[in-house]
Amino acid sequence: MYKQLVAIILASFFILITLAGCQEPPQEKSANTTTGQNDLKPSLKKAVKLVKKRIAARTWSEIIASGHINAVKLDWQLESALPRAGSTGAYHSTLLQGFAQSRGLTVTWHRVSNLAAMFEKLSAFEVDIIPRHLTITENRLAKYSFTYPLLRDKEVVIAKSGKHDFNASAINNLHLPIGSAYIESVVSQYPHWNVNVVKEQVSSQEMADHVAQGLSKYTIIDGFALETLKQYRDDIQSVFTLPKAINLAWAVNLNNDSFLHELNEFISVHHVMQMIEPERTVGFKQLRKDKLPLRVITRNSPETYFLWRGELLGFEYDLMRKFADIHKVKLVIVVADSYEEMLELLAEGKGDIIAAGLSRTKARTKKITKAKLATSIRYNRVKEQLVAHQDGELINELSDLKDRTITIRKSSSFWPTAQKLAKDFGANIVIANEDIATEILIAQVADKEIDLTIADSNLIAIEKTFRSQIITPLTFKENVPYAYLVRQNNPQLLAYLNEFIRKYYRGTFYNVVKNKYFYNERLQKSHKKHRLTSGSILSPYDDIVRSQVQPYHFDWRLIVSQMYQESRFDPLASNATGALGLMQMLPRTAEELGVKDLKDPEQAIASGVQYLDWTRNRFSKDLPVQEQIFFSLASYNAGYGHVKDAQRLARQLGLRSDRWFNHVEKAMLLLQRRQYYNKARFGYVRGREPVNYVRDIHQRYLSYIRITD
C-alpha cells in the first residue's frame, strides 16, 4: 500500500510539472504598462492607468513634465551581474540612471524578451529610449536616431578554448542570434560565410555557453563583451577579429532632436570622465571637484558585499554608500581576492579606501605603516571567538582545547591566536586552504566535517541565523577594532572618514545597518504548529492562490508551500534585505511586474507567481520539463544568475547541468568557495540556502498533495 501511495504522489507531481512547462508565453502587454499587469485580477487592473497609444515620440519637454524616462531592457537584465569592469547590463542601467538623476527624473523600466521587441516598443512610442550597446548600422539608421557612440569596438569570432585552425575564407557552423547586427556585419564583410541563425534572441553569455558546450563551433560577440566574459571564465577564446570597427550607442526615435541633444550632452561629459587614468592618487577635495568616483576596495562575502536577488548588499557596502551619498560622489566597488591584493590596489592608486571588515592589529599596523597607508579610527568592534558544534565535547576553559583540532587559514587575522593555543594549551592546528572562507569553515563545523574554527562575532552572528548547531564556548579577544585604510598621502579622505565615523558610529543609521546584517533573524513571529489532516485548508490564502496560478498553470499547492517557506503566511513579513509580504518580493522587482502594494495579499501573491513564472521561462528551453520547477525555485531564492553560474560549474565538474538534485545543487554549494566564485559571473552566493530552500519546498509540496488529494 505504501509503495502504491508513493507512486501516486510522484506521478501526480510529474504530471503537474509537465503541465507547468507547457503553457503559452504571455502576450505582449499594452502601452505604458510593465509586463505582467494584464495577468493581474480585475481588482488590480483598476489601479493600472491605460492611455491611448501615442502617434509620436515624447519630446524632451513632455519627458520633463512627466518626471520619468520610459526605457526598455531585456528579461535577462532583470537581475544585474555582480558589477565588474565592462559589465554591460550594469553599465547601461547605471549610466541612464545617472542621466535621469542629473535632470531630476526617474527611469521607468519596461521588460521584453528579445532585441526585436525592444525596437518594436520604441517604434510604437511606448518607450523613449533603448539604453543598450546597439551597433549603428545603415538599416537601423534609416529607422532610428542614435546617440553619440558610447564605445568604438570590433566584433570577434569566438570558439571553445583550445587549438583551432580558423580559416576566414571558408567558415561553417557559425551560429548567430536572429535579429542581431552581427548578421548584417557578416553579410557585408564576409558574404561567403555560412551562417546558422538561432531562432531565439539570446545574450552574449548564452551564445558563449553554446560554444563552450559544443552546440556551436563559432559565434560572434562584441570585443567589449568578450573582455567582460574573460574576467570570470576561461572556456572560450577569440579566433578572429572582424576588420571593420563598429560604433555602439543608444537608440531613440527619429526626429526627437530635443531629447537626443540632452543625451549627447551628457554622454560627452561621460566620455571626458572616462579618459581619467584608472590609477590616481588625488586628494578627496580634488576628487569631488573633478566629479570622480570614490573607489572602495572590499571583498565578495556575506559580511561585506554581495549580490542577492539582483540587489547589491553588505554591511561595508551600505556604510560606504551612505558616505558617498553624503559627499555627493559616485560609488565604485573594486573587489579583491585577498588581504594582500587589497593593500596592493590601494597603494597603486587603483582604489581610494579599503572597507572590508579588517581588524586593526599590531602586526597589521606595522605592515600598513611600512606600505605608506593609514588607518581610520575604529568604526566597529567585534569579538574573536571559538566556533564549535553544540553536540561536541564540552569546552569551558582554555585547557579543554588540549588535543582538539582548530582549522584556520594561515593568512587569517586569527592565526596568531591559533598558534598561541597550540603552544600554551596543546590544541592541534590544521591549516585550511586559502580559498576556503571563514564562513565555509563555520559551515564545516556545523556539519561536523571539522572540529573547531575561530571567527569574529559579526560573521558568527550571520551564520547563526542559518546554523543553529554552532556555539561559541570561548571568547579570546574582546573589542577587536575594525578600521578603514587609505593612503597616507590622502589626509583629506582620512579626515572625512573619521568625521563620518564620529557622527554615525552607534547612531540610528549605523545600528539599523548592523542589525540588518548581523542580528536580524528575519524578525518572524513564532508560529504555532498545526497538524494538517486530510481536507485541511493549507493556508488562509488558498483561494487567492488558486485564482492567481491559473494563467500560469502552476499547481496551487506548490505556491502555498513556497509561501510558507518565505513568510510563514504572514502578510506583513519583512526581512533584512528589504523583501516584503507573503512571497518576500523586493519592491523594485515587484514594481517591474506591475505590483505596487506588497502588503496586500492578492498583489503579493500575484508578484510571486509572476516572478516564479519569469524564472521558469528563462530555463524552459534547456531543461527537462520535470526539472524546471526546481531550477525556478532556486532562482527565486538565490537569483537566476547564481543558478546559471552553478549550471556552468556543474558542466565543468562533469555533473549534469540539467538535473538539480545531486548535480547542480552540488555546484551551488561550491560557489561559496573563493576558487569557484571568483570565476563566476555573479560571484559569491550562500549556496546552502537555495539548496535547502528547494528541498524543503519540495518535501512540503509532496505532503500537501497527499493531504489534499
pLDDT digits (tens, 9 = 90+) for 244-259: 888 889 999 998 999 9
Task: Note whether residue 48 is domain-resident.
Answer: no
Boundary-marking domain end, from 450, 482, 514: 482
CA separation for the pair 268, 682 (Å, rounded) = 31
The alpha carbon of residue 83 and the mean position of all alpha carbons in its chain are separated, in whole angstroms, by: 9
Residues contacting 118, CB < 8 A, separation 6+: 72, 74, 112, 130, 132
Q: pLDDT, tens digit, for every residue of 198-218?
A: 877 677 888 888 899 888 899
Strands 155-160 vs 306-308: parallel, antiparallel or unpaired: unpaired
In a domain, 271, yes or no: no
> Are 703 and 568 members of one domain?
yes
Summarised one tens digit per residue, pLDDT across range 321-370 is 999 999 988 888 888 878 888 999 999 898 999 999 998 887 788 888 88
Report the distance separating Cα 60 and Cα 497, nearest Å: 40
Cα 572-573-578 angle, rounded to 5 deg: 110
* Cell numbers found for residue 278: 584608472
- Whether the per-residue pLDDT at 704 is higher than 60: the answer is yes
* Cell 571568547, residue located: 475
- Alpha-carbon distance of 389 to 448, in angstroms, equals 7
- Same domain, yes or no, for 132 and 162? no
What's the whole-model pTM score? 0.59
Give the C-alpha separation, 292 to 273, whole Å.
Answer: 7
Please provide the average confidence, as pLDDT, over all residues in the chain: 82
Residues 315 and 448 in one domain: no
Element (H, E) at 205: helix 204-212
Based on the domain organization, do 282 and 134 belong to the same domain? Answer: no
Task: Give the 3-state secondary structure of residue 662.
Answer: helix
Range 607-615 average pLDDT: 92
Q: What is the domain range of residue 330?
A: 276-377
Check whether residue 405 and residue 292 sit in a common domain: no
Q: What pLDDT, on a 0 to 100 scale, did the predictor assign at position 42?
A: 42
Residues 371 and 403 placed together within one structural domain of the fold = no
Kind and range of the H or E run holding 269 = helix 257-274
Residues 13 and 119 in one domain: no
pLDDT at 76 over 60: no
Q: Are residues 188 and 141 in the same domain?
A: no
Asked if 160 and 75 sit in the same domain, the reply is no
Q: Which residues of 78-93 are buried (b: 16+ CB within 10 A; e: fewer)?
A: bbbbbbbebbbbbbbb
Q: Does residue 129 belong to any structural domain of this protein? A: yes
Q: How far is residue 371's CA from residue 212's CA, in Å, rounded to a whole number? A: 43
> 570 to each of 208, 528, 563, 590, 599, how far by Cα in Å?
43, 12, 9, 18, 10
**pLDDT bracket for residue 399 (50, 70, 90):** very high
CA dihedral 207, 209, 214, 219 (to 10 degrees): 20
Domain boundary residue, one of 428, 448, 482? 482
Domain contains 506: no
Dist CA 293 CA 333 (whole Å): 10
pLDDT for residue 32: 34
Q: What is the largest CA-CA distance in the chain?
A: 82
Whole-number Å distance between alpha carbons of 57 and 171: 42
Asked if the structure places residue 547 within a domain, the reply is yes
The whole-number average pLDDT for the span 585-591 is 86
Distance CA 328, CA 89 (A): 24
Residues 6+ apart with CB under 8 A from 554: 20, 609, 612, 613
Higher pLDDT pick, 376 / 707: 376
Q: Which residue has the higher pLDDT, 281 or 636?
A: 636
- Structural domain count of the chain: 5
SS (H, E, C) 129-172: EEEEEEECCHHHHCCEEECCCCEEECEEEEEECCCCCCCCCCCC
**Which is more confident, 595 or 486?**
486
Q: Which helix (H) or strand (E) holds 417?
A: helix 415-425
Asked whether residue 151 carries a pLDDT value surpassing 80, the answer given is no
> Residue 168 above 90 pLDDT?
no
DSSP 244: S
Contact between 206 and 228 (Cβ < 8 Å) = no
Q: Which residues contact 308 (CB under 8 A, 6 or more apart)?
A: 577, 638, 639
Rounded Cα–Cα distance for residues 56 and 252 (Å)? 12
CA 26 – CA 35 distance, rounded (Å): 9
Find the CATH number of the domain harbouring 65. Answer: 3.40.190.10
- 100, 69 contact by CB (below 8 A): yes
Q: Which three cell numbers stand for residue 422?
A: 597550540
Same domain, 669 and 558: yes
Q: Which residue has the cell 502504491?
A: 4
Q: Residue 16: is its pLDDT beyond 50?
A: no
Nearest residue to 280 via CA among 241, 319, 332, 208: 332
Least confidently predicted of 48-62, 401-415, 418-432: 48-62
Which helix (H) or strand (E) element contains residue 428? strand 428-432
Residue 354: which H helix or E strand, with range?
strand 353-354
Per the structure block, which three cell numbers stand in for 416? 596568531
Q: Does residue 147 sit in the same domain as residue 160?
A: no
pLDDT of residue 52: 55
Give percent of the chain with pLDDT exceeding 90. Answer: 41
Strand order across the beta sheet in which 485-487 lies: 331-335, 294-298, 353-354, 485-487, 373-375
Per the domain annotation, does 267 fall within a domain? no
Q: Is residue 188 part of a domain?
A: yes
Are residues 394 and 438 located together in one domain of the fold? yes
Q: How many CB atoms lie within 10 A of CB 645?
A: 28
Quote the CA–CA distance of 21 and 117 in Å, as a whole number. Answer: 23
- CATH number of the CATH domain containing 635: 1.10.530.10
Boundary of a domain, candidates 258, 287, 315? 258
Q: What angle do CA 265, 269, 273 make, to 5 degrees?
A: 165
Q: What average pLDDT does the segment 387-399 reach?
A: 93
Is 533 domain-assigned? yes
